[in-house]
Structures are given as C-alpha cells and as structure tokens.
C-alpha cells in the first residue's frame, strides 16, 4: 500500500440492480412500468431551456410547496433531494452522530450499511423473525438512531402504523427515520405522526409510484427543526442538488392526483394476480405490500432460476446470501410482462434443489 493510501476514505459501495441497455423484461429494480403523469411530458416539451443558463432555485421552492400541500404539512417540514438515496445519505450524515450504534433490520435496504460504514457510524443489525417481520422490542434499547423501511425491502412486508409508532415512542431521544419508498402501494404513512413526534423523519420518493426513477426526486418530511438541520448540512455540501427539469417535472407529477392513484391501483391489482399465479406454480410468496414480490420455490435453486430467466431476457433481483439465499425479488411489471414471466416459468422444469 502506498503511504498516501492510508489517508484515503475507503468504501465498499452499494451495488444497484443491472440497467441493461438492450430490450429486456426488466423486473429487477422496482421501477414502474407505466409512464409518469402526462403533465410531465408536456412540461418537458414546453421547457424554457434559456432557464438552464441560470442555477436552479436552491430552496426547490415550488416543489417543496407542492409536496407540503399534498401532505398537509408546512413547507418548512419538507426537504427535497436527488432521489431518496440522496435524502437518506444526507439524513445519515446529519442525524446519526452518536457513539452508540444505530439500529436497522438485518435483512433490509443494503445501502444503510454502506452509508454507516462510509460515515463511520457504528451500527447493529436487528434480526427479523422467522416470518421476516420486524421485532419491535429489538428497538427498545440504547442506540444512536433508528432506521427501517416500511414496507421493508426486499421482503415487501408492511408493518402497521401502530407498531411503527411503538418504535418511535420508545426512541424519543434519537432520530427515527422511516424509509417509505414503497408506502404508496401499502397502508398508512408515518407522515401522519410527524406533528406528534419531533424526532421523526419520513423519507419518500418519486421513483416508484410516480414512475420517475430517472428524474431522481426524493423528499423527507419532519419537524421544522429537523428539516432545518438537514438543509444546513445540504447547503454545506452542494446548494444546487435538484436540476431545473426535475423541479418543474416534480411539480407536474404532484398536481395530477388522479393519475397517481390510478397507477397505484393498477400495480396493486397486477401484484395480487401475480401472487396467485406464482403460488399456482409452486412458489411461496411473502405477503408483499410493495411493487415487488419476494419469492422462493421449494424445488428450484434461486441462483439457477435467476440465471435461466436472465438468459431468456427476463431480469429479476437475486442476492444469494444468508437467509435470503433461495429468494428472488420480482418487480411488478405490466400484465403483459408478467404473462411473459409466467410463460417462461411454466416451461421451466429447472435444476432442482
């Protein structure tokens, strides 16, 4: 090792799902198969490119206001970033600065461990139970902060708001972050608790239900005091995180509530049908409330099935470690895409376990 390398911050990066450039049936990164709201396309076509000469609004004003309106909170309670990954990274930097370990589930969004290691935040993973559920008592101990997704990823399991509130209530001396990337396909959001608990931050995204993963918009909602801390960290890092096109398109998406709700309804409908079809084919599906299903088959080896699917142009996600070694995560595509998946699975006799 060269002497200077001692001083280099080393990171083991998060590995995102593949983004193949050829045309495949892409059920591997929980994107939405439908286009964004029609107003987004219109706004892009009519975009005033002369505006690109100028820096974008560092406060992201109109987008913050649209989100504040949508969720019935004050604009001072909304923080916007470049996808929820950016918002979460900023939350880790801002809120998790204790000597005590932060707590998150052992099977969860694998980026949490990456940020904790990058920022040298001590952490302790809490084991999900045998049914892959969060055990709330595990979060009732000394810690430097708590974060978990609801619904969890990659399991898709949603925990009722009462249970989420129990965890927040037990942790009022630290910041609790609920990562709600998939909440629109599930139940009640913890946003309704932000006025009750000033240590709560709820993070959401435009990447899933709003079909805008490519635009990179995420946001956090919390008490004005916590949002101010986040903003101070952001302005100490990069004032202009959100580009002009994302700011304009984000507002258009929020405006069209009917399109948003209809898109969610379609995905949930396809998900429930897909679950039944998978079960008919012998798969065991976790009870997902997200836009994906986490499945295992008692006879098929998950890795071999993953590879066979890929060879046939169908991409799903596979991790291949620990308790989820025999599981695949399948994003809900269009009905036609799911039919192609089932056509393949019906033919697949597979290498048995």
Binding site for ligand PMP (CB under 6 A): 83-85, 109, 149, 153, 179, 181, 205, 207, 213, 218
Q: Select 80 or 345, whichever has its Cβ closest to ligand PMP.
A: 80
Give the shortest CB-152-to-ligand PMP separation in angstroms. Answer: 8
Q: Select 179 or 289, whichever has its Cβ closest to ligand PMP.
A: 179
Give the shortest CB-12-to-ligand PMP separation in angstroms. Answer: 17
Pull the structure tokens for residue 313: 């142009």
Instruction: State the burial class of residue 137 (Cβ atoms within 10 Å of its Cβ: 0-12, 13-18, 19+).
Output: exposed
Helix 257-280 crosses helix 335-347 at what angle (to 10 degrees)? 10
Closest CA to 325 of 340, 342, 305, 344: 305
Q: Select 90 or 308, whichever has its Cβ closest to ligand PMP.
A: 90
Give the shortest CB-112-to-ligand PMP separation in angstroms. Answer: 9
The DSSP line for 204-223 is EESSSTTS-GGG--EEEEE-
Q: Would you say 217 and 80 are in contact if contact means Cβ atoms under 8 Å apart?
A: yes
**325 in helix, strand or coil?**
coil
Q: Select 144 or 154, whichever has its Cβ closest to ligand PMP.
A: 154
Residue of minimal Cβ distance to ligand PMP: 83
Give the shortest CB-329-to-ligand PMP separation in angstroms. Answer: 10
Q: Select 233 or 281, whichever has its Cβ closest to ligand PMP.
A: 233
Q: How far is 110 from 113, CA to CA, in rounded Å?
A: 6
Q: Select 83 or 263, whichever has its Cβ closest to ligand PMP.
A: 83
Peptide bond preceding 120: is omega within 30 degrees of 0, i.e. cis?
no
Give the shortest CB-53-to-ligand PMP separation in angstroms. Answer: 28
**153 in helix, strand or coil?**
coil
Non-local CB neighbours of 51 within 8 Å, separated by 6+ positions: 244
Give the shortest CB-155-to-ligand PMP separation in angstroms. Answer: 11
Closest CA to 135 of 125, 144, 145, 143: 125
Q: Would you say 253 and 205 are in contact if contact means Cβ atoms under 8 Å apart?
A: no
Give the shortest CB-132-to-ligand PMP separation in angstroms. Answer: 15
Q: Select 60 or 153, whichever has its Cβ closest to ligand PMP.
A: 153
């Amino acid at each position: 090792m060269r002497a200077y390398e001692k001083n280099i911050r080393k990171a083991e990066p998060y590995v995102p799902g593949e983004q193949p450039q050829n045309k495949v049936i892409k059920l591997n990164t929980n994107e939405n198969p439908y286009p964004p709201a029609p107003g987004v396309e219109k706004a892009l076509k009519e975009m005033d490119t002369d505006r690109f000469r100028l820096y974008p609004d560092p406060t992201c004003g109109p987008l913050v206001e649209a989100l504040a309106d949508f969720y019935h909170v004050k604009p001072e309670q909304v923080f916007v970033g470049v996808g929820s990954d950016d918002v979460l990274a900023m939350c880790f930097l801002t809120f998790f600065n204790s000597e005590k370990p932060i707590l998150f589930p052992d099977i969860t969004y694998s980026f949490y461990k990456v940020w904790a290691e990058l920022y040298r935040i001590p952490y302790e993973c809490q084991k999900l139970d045998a049914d892959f559920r969060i055990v709330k008592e595990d979060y009732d101990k000394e810690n430097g902060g708590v974060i978990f997704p609801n619904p969890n990823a990659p399991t898709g399991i949603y925990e009722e708001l009462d249970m989420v509130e129990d965890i927040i209530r037990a942790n009022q001396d630290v910041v609790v972050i609920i990562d709600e990337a998939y909440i629109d396909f599930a139940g009640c959001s913890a946003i309704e608790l932000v006025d009750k608990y000033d240590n709560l931050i709820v993070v959401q995204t435009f990447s899933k239900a709003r079909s805008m993963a490519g635009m990179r918009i995420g946001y956090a909602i919390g008490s004005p005091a916590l949002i101010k801390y986040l903003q101070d960290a952001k302005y100490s890092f990069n004032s202009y995180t959100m580009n002009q096109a994302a700011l304009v398109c984000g507002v258009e998406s929020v405006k069209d509530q009917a399109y948003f709700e209809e898109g969610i309804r379609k995905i949930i409908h396809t998900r429930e049908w897909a679950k039944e079809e998978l079960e008919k084919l012998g798969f065991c599906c976790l009870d997902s409330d997200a836009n994906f299903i986490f499945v295992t088959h008692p006879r098929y080896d998950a890795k071999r099935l993953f590879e066979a699917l890929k060879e046939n142009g169908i991409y799903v996600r596979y991790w291949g470690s620990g308790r989820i070694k025999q599981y695949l995560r399948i994003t809900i595509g269009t009905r036609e895409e799911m039919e192609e998946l089932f056509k393949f699975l019906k033919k697949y006799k597979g290498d048995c376990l």
